[in-house]
Structure 1
Amino acid sequence: MAEEFHRIRRLPPYVFAEVNTAKAKARAAAEDIVDLGMGNPDSPTPPHIVAKLIEAVQDPRTHRYSMSKGIPGLRKALAGYYARRFGVKLDPETEVVATLGSKEGLANLAQAITSPGDTILVPNPSYPIHQFGFIIAGATARSIPYTPDDAMLEAITRAVKHSVPKPTALIVNFPSNPTALLASREFYKELVRIARQHELFILSDLAYAELYFDEANPPPSVLEIPGAMDCTVEFTSLSKTYNMPGWRMGFAAGNPRLISALARVKSYLDYGAFTPIQVAAAAALNGPQDCVAEMRALYRERRDVLVKGLQQAGWDVPPCEGSMFLWAPIPERFRDLGSVGFSKLLLEKAKVAVAPGVGFGEHGDGHVRIALVENSQRIRQALRGIRTFLQGDNVGPIGAAPVEEQIKA
């Protein structure tokens, strides 16, 4: 009876727990920690969205059970967004489902379409639910390169040829969490061609669609590609676009067969988000979009301050072109510590928390993810700590043993 349950045995220990424990211990000791670890937006939800929530919640009719697949007005609003933003026409009745954030939608679609022993293709590193949603459902995950280029496309073709059983689905996520990479339409065209040729489902996580910094080249949707609707479901979220992470409002859109499967599973599991939240979410999509442009400008400013400061401190971190993260290679002299060891050392010496890259897959262990979730003043405070840490004598000579001894202390 003491043996772990089967599905739990397939889930490794939460790799962020070690850093989170150290962070909690530091805060308990009254240390001021600048937390750039979790991708949790710090700005408030725009006032007109909050006002719509308050208005809706005062109507007692909204206090009853809602609709699992989302109220009609919300599904129409999402279809309207896709038409404006991507030029994609969606049927709100058959090609859109509202979800409790994109994470829930991915996990429940995995339950809907996965048989025990199925193989799915997942970039490594990638956001944990991309892999573990399917592992919980009984599938086996096969890693593919995380870069939106020929390396990923060739790996998909090899996996189809050599995997037993043949893969049933593949995950893409651009702009990417954690790597911040963006994909082009040309990449998506080839991806859709391969998926249709080999009868693969494409599951696209587009949660960061509106978080980009080249205004002339907003990230595309896979659904823009002719033929994509035959094999693709795309997940979006209001969490980052409108600073609504705690509201848990997302969407799945695309292939009617897959959307129907997701809606059927959800109908057994939930009654949908609280109706006032859905009403307010529709107001977010249909209302003024100045707040989205302001959100992008804020993250661009933070990115520029952080990248410049890190480079001045001697840490060469490339600027991100999308998402709210920097994917930072660990400085060479600390590389042997791995991402967990380096994150703990950064917390101890610089009083800055970051996410260890190994939490997103073993191929992320040479990096840490830095979230742009503190204001510029706090970012500058973090930079002072990092500069002192990297340029001070307390870290020992490059490549010397004292660095490892510090992390064990």
Structure 2
Amino acid sequence: MRAGKGVTVDGGELIRALRTPGGRADPYPLYAQLRKLAPVWAEQTNDWAVATGYAACGQVLRSPDFGVDDRAEFDRSDPNWRESPVLRRAANSLHFMNSPDHERVRRLVAGTFTPRRIGDMRVAIETAASRLIDRLAERGADGAPVDFISGFAFELPITVICDLVGVSPADRHWFHQRVNAIVAGPPLRTGRALLESDDKPRSLAAVDQTTVELRDYFAALVAERRESPQSDLTSALAAAHDAEGTISEEELLASLALVIAAGFITTMNLLGNGLAILLDHPDLTRRLRLDPSLAPAYIEEMLRYDCPVQVLARRTLRETTLDGLRLPARASVAVLVGAANRDPARFDQPDTFDPLRTVKQALSFGAGPHYCLGTMLARLEAEIAFKMLLDRFEDITLAGEANRHNLLVLRGYTALPISVRQSRHVRGAQVAGKALS
């Protein structure tokens, strides 16, 4: 096989290894081997490539020579795609739009997903996090193990994103089940389709019904907000849609579904991955506990060291060159973000968790036109969560076997059992409160 800069190598075995359960559990050694072969590896025909180097991945994400699969590409590969609800939803979402449609829809969504709206959510996030920590403390009394994923990492972001969108608290677990069904469904035209294992063939029909249910829910919610606007994102998007007329109703509904799905899965994985890292680095955890102002730096390093989204997918929009490798038009490129974030050409000692490193700018939220709109919200949730967890508990330890998702692209845990011990100042306040009662 041929790789960038004229190097002749065979990386196929490494790609196949990434698709195995062991490769998905710990892909970083395989990433390093692929990167040593070349920052860009391609098949013989160069119509399918994998980028692992930081510079190469950044170029793919930012260059106008690369884009995502859009409606035109859907038409080329499957003229009947409109018969599938899940593919229609995908084609109407930002994830599957290139210029000029991408700018048109993103401008409207970004205009409502503002820093002020996110900043105004701080108190609500703190309230939700405090309630969940109280529950962890109650369930974990006397050293009983509690699952951090189901008890906190899932609950906090689903609460926050549903509050943001305007979804009723009673419907949150309904959303969780349906988004999980789509995530567990067959890979679409994404990084999952390039690198996930095909050992369990699945039909699109299995998630079409789920997609219809989500669409109907949001259609009803939009109609309700048009009649009675609230201070949520759905009301703001519906009003902007009606005032400007720049996006279709299907694009509006797909945008809401995307915000829900992307807004809690990646943050859930950030929280789980982040706590697992802290458990592995007790000295650094003590430092953060003593100086909570370091939380933003820790979160940036968590995102670099073990990012929630490991792979992004792009396609060449025209013939182009990537790291000296000539790629034809319509070549698929898997951007291994997790590998780029550990490129020694960019980060000194990349396999070391170092929250105080001076070189940052990991690609965990992407880059270029498709840079994630929810970065500010994810960072805010993580900052609040870790500050409050370390303030409330003076000791957090692993209390059983941690289980990861059997996925490469979306990296996170299904279970992270922990035991917790409340801080002395919290126990003292509780004793004093009982004495006064």
Short-chain TM bin: under 0.3
TM-score where L is the length of structure 2? 0.25
TM-score where L is the length of structure 1? 0.27
